[in-house]
A and B are shown apart, each in its own frame.
Chain A
Amino acid sequence: MIDERLVFERFHEALDVPPPSGGFDRLRIALAAAELNPRRSLWITPRLVRATQLVLVVLVLLALAVAMIGILVAGHPPPIRPHGGQVMIPAKMVSPTIGWAQAGLSEVWRTIDSGASWTEVTPPILPDRLWPSQYDAAFFLDGTHAWTVETGQGGSNPSNLYLSVFGTSDGGGHWHQGQSIPIGVQGGLDPVLSFIDSSHGWLLVSETNPEDIEAAPILYSTSDGGRSWKQVSAPASPPRSFCGPVPMTFVTVNFGVRVPGCGSSVVLVTRDGGISWQVQRPLPATAPDGDFDAPVLFDSMHGLIVFHGIQEVVLVTSDGGLSWATRSLPETDPMAVSFVDALHGWAATTALYPVINGSRSRVSAGGRLYHTDDGGLTWALVQTNLLEKSEGDDLGGLYFVDPKHGFASFTNPSSGTSSSWLKTSDGGRTWIVVAAGTICLVAC
């Protein structure tokens, strides 16, 4: 175990540098001198002026050099990466073209061209909203239906907090606000939404109180698209010691599965719409803790959950969650996994950074792609151009929407900031770059 005080000391020793002398004054002068015009997206700052002058000088020198040298040296131009814009990594692609994304500050975005461009469709903001976005959640059902939940303060008393769900049925063009759900909590919230159709949905609220002890989550349900909610379960029972949002998925009005946010390996299954939850332990008791992805349920009987332990495994059920079988992935390296139904799935190696001699070294960018058509019993290597298209970047995620169409995200390992978004229309054999640039997180 590391003494946390040691960590604080090490960070301060390593990073402590005084702010630049006069730094704030320079900033204030630049801001005061800048021309603020809402119709312009660029301010002329002194630094920008200097940079522009420098660029002009360099261009003139280059032009002179080219004129002197001529075109004696011929060569092939380097490959041009389509970088330059901003890339949004979707929260969910619901079809080969339509997807939803969330950016910081509670922005909701929607694409209809596979992620090449995005339109902001952020729902209305509660006038007394608890800010920033840490108390929010969203669920994207299909191309037109989506819901978000916001927390209102209801005055200065923290026990007056309330939740309000906003829903849209036209792709974010209009949002309707559901009834307020009062929640007398003293701490933070981890709401999670899940809908099975345009009417039926569930809202799970986990409270974190100031003593950092999580109270039992409370489950609400709606049958009118989020306009009204009723409490399903009393704040009781299921095992806790969860952390963070609790991934929860329903597929019918009765069948739902949820898993811990982290640090445990139990699976909770309901067959009565969330009134009662059966605790299941599909992994050996000796298995080290790990993290679950959100459960993926295909129908009332079939579903799966990817478990990230020492290595990833897929837990598969074919009897409505009564039992779970373990499916191995094709490699022991970390993998991204995506299934479109109970049989068809893909897995691709992600970047590998093992600890060698006390430091992490990148030994693989990932990108080897496998396919299964028997629910993960067997895997076949896919002959693909994914690695060439990735240009050495690290695979971040794999998102298939049907047996033909899927997406992959890559991140530049040296910067962690450039990203590319790729698409396949033939089951993963050939990929094209849809968008590339810097990742958009907040204030895009």
Chain B
Amino acid sequence: MGQTWLLGPYMGQMLFERSEAELIRSARKGDGAAFADLIRPHYVAAFRVAHGMLHNSEEAEDAVQDAAFTAWKKLGNLRAGSPLRPWFLAIVANRCRHVAGSRWWSVVWANRAEGEAPAGDIEAGVDLRRALARLGHDEKLILVLRYYLDMPYEEIAGTIGVTPKAARTRVERALRRLRPILQAREALI
């Protein structure tokens, strides 16, 4: 296996992809680029978790970056053979908890970057985001994992550290709290 990072991150990965175990070894020795490549497959999911929790793209990007540094520092806690994704997403979620906790403002944005959705959809989205904003961190997180990241219960369980059955129960409970909003939208449609 050659070190091909001078070719650029993506080209290098394509030509000489390093195994996850090798990336973990390098990252533990202090190779930040190796750690970045280790979490590259999970970056989009991490951003979606952060955005689902924070509803702000800049904050979400920052939260993922901070979580990445924490995860790098804590990489020694990851046992051999353990899945990286739920572990990393758990740290992202925890970072979002910190970010939200340090906020002195709160905004539920109505305008989306795409700006092309029908007005009704935008209203529905705002309603749902407002409803999510009223939930506690854990309830919001489990709904985001389930319905925004489309995670199966097994993976949700791995991310939040409970059993799949408990994950399902928590999803159902959290959803129950959102039900008035969802049913109201359904009635309007």
Contact = CB atoms under 8 A, between A and B. Distances in A.
B69 A7 contact: no
A435 to B, nearest CB: 15
B158 A14 contact: no
Interface string A416-428: 1110000000000
Given A36-B30, A132-B86, A188-B163, A359 B180 contact: yes
A17 B112 contact: yes
B136 interface: yes
Nearest to B140: A416
A360 interface: yes
A13 interface: yes
A157 interface: no
Interface in A325-364: 353, 355, 358-360, 362
Most buried by B among A30, A132, A190: A132
A4 to B, nearest CB: 8
A359 B181 contact: yes
A261 B165 contact: yes
Contact of A443 (B77, B82, B128): B77
A443 B57 contact: no
A359 B98 contact: no
Given A416-B137, A443-B77, A31 B164 contact: no
Contacts of A262: 169
A31 B32 contact: yes
B87 to A, nearest CB: 6
B18 interface: no
A392 to B, nearest CB: 15
A416 B100 contact: yes
A14 B33 contact: no
Interface string B85-101: 01100110110011011
Contacts of B186: 2, 6
Chain A's interface size range is 35 or more
A262 B61 CA distance: 37
A417 B97 contact: yes
Interface string B128-167: 1111101111101001100110100010011001111110
B134 A360 contact: yes
A416 to B, nearest CB: 4
A27 B64 contact: yes
Given A2-B183, A262-B169, A34 B32 contact: yes
Interface in A374-425: 411-412, 414-418
Given A14-B125, A23-B47, A417-B98, A443 B71 contact: yes
Contacts of B163: 134-135, 188-190, 208, 244-245
Given A7-B175, A10-B124, A418-B101, A243 B83 contact: no
Given A10-B128, A11-B128, A32 B36 contact: yes
Interface of A: 2, 6-8, 10-20, 23-28, 30-34, 36-37, 41, 43, 45, 47, 104-106, 125, 128-129, 131-135, 187-190, 208, 212, 214, 243-245, 261-263, 353, 355, 358-360, 362, 411-412, 414-418, 438-439, 441-443
11 contacts: A15-B55, A15-B125, A19-B47, A28-B36, A105-B87, A131-B79, A134-B158, A261-B169, A358-B181, A359-B130, A360-B180
Given A24-B36, A245-B166, 9 more contacts: A10-B147, A16-B148, A26-B65, A31-B33, A32-B32, A36-B72, A134-B163, A208-B164, A443-B94
